[in-house]
Amino acid sequence: MAYSEIKALLFDVFGTVVDWRGSITREMQRFGSEQQINQDWQQFALDWRALYQPAMEGIRSGKRGYVKLDQLHRENLQQLLRTYGLESLTEAQLGHVNRVWHRLQPWEDTLPGMNRLKKHYVLASVSNGNVALMVNMAKHSAIPWDMILGSETAQGYKPQDKVYLHSAQMLGLEPAQCMMVAAHNDDLYAARALGFKTAYINRPYEYGEGQINDLHAEEAWDIVGEYMTDVADELVC
Amino acid sequence: MAYSEIKALLFDVFGTVVDWRGSITREMQRFGSEQQINQDWQQFALDWRALYQPAMEGIRSGKRGYVKLDQLHRENLQQLLRTYGLESLTEAQLGHVNRVWHRLQPWEDTLPGMNRLKKHYVLASVSNGNVALMVNMAKHSAIPWDMILGSETAQGYKPQDKVYLHSAQMLGLEPAQCMMVAAHNDDLYAARALGFKTAYINRPYEYGEGQINDLHAEEAWDIVGEYMTDVADELVC
């Protein structure tokens, strides 16, 4: 394919760039130990994430105006407090727990791949995370973004068309000049339908051992790889 | 002052981070030579810049809806074509000339200062330049932004309050947690009135030998320096 046309790589982040499950599990294991709260923190991470799509759906459907993901995460966390013995935490502690999403860590292959790609392409996040979340995560984990786009700058949630289209438009690019990089087939279906190039990275342990979706590329995406470094191998000679 | 409160540095760009006059003059001298158009290209840069404030004023006043600076630059360039012998250029060539603003180069002290500051603070542009302009300039000149904010994300033009306030809000910060860094007293007056910290960098040659404004700090700004490295010296021990 004509890679020479591509100017920017647009990245899904949760699951594609960072390991949210592992990061939250590890941090909450430490936090739980300090607070003497003994729980299955991996299940906590999975349960918290399970409330993500339903929360966004209220906004996508128009039932609710746009609010940032930080706020949705906080509302969803509220639903889990009793189950996970967190109901006696202070508001400051809950704010700290909620911002664990600002401290997610990359998969091992992420930074080696992205740092090579950055020399040749504009790297932008097109995530459902809000700007502060993405900026803080990048500072925490050295993710080399050129720009943070996606949900908050477009005032919507993927897979709404406007999130992809507004991101390309802000970069002054046509969709065909942008490649969406994601570990989720749905994200790539939406992007391809709008004319974006697509790269799939397989993350079969995003949800842990029991993952049932996105175990492989469901379409002939423009690039299909196991690691971010595979995308770099393909695009950077 | 309480520097410990500061989380982000917000930068004016044209004149503060990059030398637009020198960059445009040098590039147009090369371009003019190739095209055999012999003009005073520094005067061209100054004349083009002189149309900048009036063009934004139409949008600030509400007479005109928001359009990106790239478009204002192109409209302003149109007014200069005959005076500078550019009227026979193709549209592609004029687009290239217009995007000289995407290729501006930093002052010598800029990157040494910013690269030190980046280790401790979020660095965001809060410029009247649009996102694509800022992203491309950063790629061209290795400017280490964490985020590009300002005019386009706020849909306004400095010194409108909303450009400063929306930028802080997107970072999840209060104005007092942000320091505006600029070579222009007006920018800092506007930011301080909203509660932002302020740093002034003196750029007495931004407009060349004949500069008449912003030759010194007109107020006791929180930091006053000659170079970006002075800001780093003050903030980073």
Mean pLDDT of A122-140: 98
A172 vs B: CB within 8 A = yes
Contact A148 B147 (CB under 8 A): yes
**What share of chain B in percent tops pLDDT 70?**
100
Q: Average pLDDT in the A136-151 region?
A: 98
The rounded mean pLDDT for chain B is: 97
This model's pTM is above 0.90? yes
The per-residue pLDDT for range B96-149, each reduced to its tens digit, is 999 999 999 999 999 999 999 999 999 999 999 999 999 999 999 999 999 999
**Common-topology check for domains A3-19+106-235 and A20-103:** no
- Chosen CATH of A20-103 out of 3.40.50.2300, 3.40.50.1170, 1.10.150.240, 3.90.600.10: 1.10.150.240
Mean pLDDT over residues B36-40, rounded? Answer: 97
Mean pLDDT of chain A: 97
Closest CB from A132, A138, A172 relative to B170: A132
**Domain B3-19+104-235 class in CATH:** alpha beta
Percent of chain A beyond pLDDT 70? 99
Query: What is the rounded average pLDDT of the residues B156-172?
Result: 98
**Contact flag B131-A173 (C-beta cutoff 8 Å):** no
pLDDT at A1 over 80: no
How confident is the model at residue A31, as a pLDDT? Answer: 98
Which chain A residue has the Cα nearest residue B125? A147
Residue A170: its chain B contacts at CB < 8 A?
131-132, 152
What's the rounded Cα separation, in Å, for the pair B189 and A155? 31
- CATH fold of A3-19+106-235: Rossmann fold (3.40.50)
Q: How far apart are the first and last CA of chain A?
A: 14
Q: Which SS3 state, helix, strand or coil, does residue A15 take?
A: coil
Question: For residue A145, what is the nearest residue in chain B, using CA coordinates?
Answer: B146
pLDDT for the residue numbered B186: 98
Q: Quote the Cα angle for A117-A118-A119, to 5°.
A: 90
Contacts of B91 (CB under 8 A, 6+ apart): none
Residue B1 has a pLDDT of: 62
The domain locations on chain B are 3-19+104-235, 20-103
Chain A residue closest in CA terms to B137: A146
State the DSSP code for B101. G
Residue A229 to residues A115, A226, A232, A236, B83: CA-CA distances in angstroms? 10, 8, 5, 10, 52
ipTM value for the complex: 0.96
Sign for the CA dihedral angle at B131, B19, B229, B219 comes to: negative
pLDDT band for B237, please (50, 70, 90 cuts): confident
Q: How far is CA B88 from CA B35, B43, B84, B85, B93, in A?
A: 10, 20, 11, 8, 10
Looking at chain A, the whole-number percentage of residues with pLDDT higher than 90 is 98
Query: Inter-chain contact A132–B70, Cβ cutoff 8 Å?
Result: no
Contact at 8 Å (CB) between A235 and A120? yes
Closest partner residue to A146 (CB to CB) among B124, B135, B173 is B135
Q: What is the pLDDT of residue B156?
A: 98
Q: What is the pLDDT of residue B65?
A: 97
A140-163 mean pLDDT: 98
Angstroms from A118 CA to nearest CA on chain B:
9
Residues with Cβ < 8 Å from A30, sequence gap 6 or more?
none
Residues 69-88 of A with CB under 8 A from B: 70
**A177 to chain B, closest Cα gap in Å:** 13
Which of the four pLDDT bands, split at 50, 70 and 90, describes residue A40? very high
In sign, the C-alpha dihedral spanning A61, A64, A65, A66 is negative
Is the torsion defined by CA of B19, B183, B234, B161 positive or negative? Answer: negative
Least confidently predicted of A190-194, B2-6, B54-58, B163-167: B2-6
Measured between CB atoms, does A122 come within 8 Å of chain B? yes
Interface membership of B64 toward A (CB under 8 Å)? no
Distance (Å, whole) CA B108 – CA A227? 39
Q: What angle do CA B206, B211, B212 make, to 5 degrees?
A: 130
Is any Cβ of chain A less than 8 angstroms from the Cβ of B137? no
Confidence check: pLDDT of A237 > 80: no
